[in-house]
Amino acid sequence: MVDTRTDYSADAVAAARAVMLELVRLLGEYHDGIVIVGGWVPELLLPLARPGHIGSTDVDLALDHRRISEAGYQTICEHLLRHGYVAGTQPFIFFREVVVAGRPIPVKVDFLAGEYGGAGRSHRTQPVQDVAARKARGCDLAFELNTQVKIEGTLPGGGLDAAEVRVAGIVPFLVMKGMALHDRLKPKDAWDIYFCVTNYPGGLDALVREFRPHLAHGLVAEGLRKIREKFLSPTHIGPKSVADFEEITDREARDLRQRDAFERVDHLLGRLGVA
Q: Which pLDDT score is estimated for 3?
A: 86
Note the pTM of the prediction, 2 decimals. Answer: 0.92
Say whether both 151 and 29 belong to one domain: yes
Q: 247: left (phi > 0), else alpha (psi -120 to 50), else beta?
A: left
Say whether both 157 and 234 belong to one domain: no
Q: Which pLDDT score is estimated for 121?
A: 47
For 51-89, the three-class secondary structure string (H helix, E strand, C coil) is: CCCCCCCEEEEEECCCCCCCCCCCCHHHHHHHCCEEECC
Per DSSP, the residues of 82-121 read HTTEEE-SSTTEEEEEEEETTEEEEEEEEEEE-SSSSS-T
Angle subtended at Cα 6 by Cα 90 and Cα 262, rounded to the nearest 5 degrees: 90
- Which domain does 14 fall in, by range? 5-168
Query: Which of 138, 168, 198 represents a domain boundary (last residue)?
Result: 168
- Banded pLDDT at 251 (limits 50, 70, 90): very high
Residue, of 63 and 130, whose pLDDT is higher: 63
Q: Which pLDDT score is estimated for 132?
A: 55
The answer to whether 223 touches 138, Cβ cutoff 8 Å, is yes
- Banded pLDDT at 124 (limits 50, 70, 90): very low
Query: Which of 133, 168, 203 represents a domain boundary (last residue)?
Result: 168
Q: Give residue-wise pLDDT tens across range 32-84.
A: 999 999 999 999 999 999 999 999 999 999 999 888 765 433 588 888 999 99
Query: Which of 118, 152, 168 represents a domain boundary (last residue)?
Result: 168
